[in-house]
Amino acid sequence: MQTRVTVDSSSFDAVISAANGFGLGAVAADALLVQGAKATFTGVGASLDRDNIVLATEFTKRRISKGAFADTTGWYVLGGYRFGKLLPYVVFSKLNVDDVNSSAPATLGPLRPTVVALQSGQYVAQRTTAVGLRWDALRNMDVKVQFDHIKKPANSNGLFLVENPTAAADQAFQGAKKNINVISLAVDFVF
């Protein structure tokens, strides 16, 4: 897929407005704004569900020509073996940040830490190992339980949402644990 991307952000607008007061509005806008940027997404995948064997894989690349969104490469591999109505499986995945596409120049002076905090949302690198179990409980319903062990570099939020990257609590989260564990339970049904 290929498109042009424009992003409206009240957080970015507030920083650019404050930067205008210092005569640095154009510098802040160049570091943050995404207006008409060329963006591409490429992905390829394959899956096999035959007899008792379940395999799936996917490889993706995202490219954005400028602004506060990173170029990324990601992939995952899933393997499972069906025992009657039970399907235990394991998943390995990785998401890399290839290029952050923007920087917060020193010329931003006292506003530079705020711009850096806003740009931090683009650091989404993480590695995940997951094990799970799917139970086909009924003809139209399955129950899944999964344990994910997520490793993220120290400078990354991973795919966790940081609601306000300039807030002290969210900044603390950014530098927090490199390893995060998630347990999920899902019930899927068709009616």
40-96 per-position pLDDT tens digit: 999 999 999 999 999 999 999 999 887 767 889 999 999 999 999 999 999 999 999
What integer pLDDT is reported at residue 93 of this predicted model? 97
* Domains of the chain and any CATH numbers: 2-189 (2.40.160)
Average pLDDT over residues 7-12: 77
Is residue 153 within 8 A of residue 116, CB to CB? The reply is: no
Give the residue carrying structure tokens 């705020």: 114
d(CA 31, CA 171): 20
Q: Average the pLDDT over 179-185 and give the result.
A: 93
- Among residues 96, 101, 112, the alpha carbon closest in space to that of 7 is found at 101
pLDDT at 110: 77
Determine the Cα–Cα distance for residues 129 and 74; give it in Å rounded to an integer. 14
Q: Are 56 and 48 in contact (CB under 8 A)?
A: yes
Q: What is the mean pLDDT of residues 151-170?
A: 65
Does 32 or 172 have the greater pLDDT score? Answer: 32
pLDDT on residue 83: 97
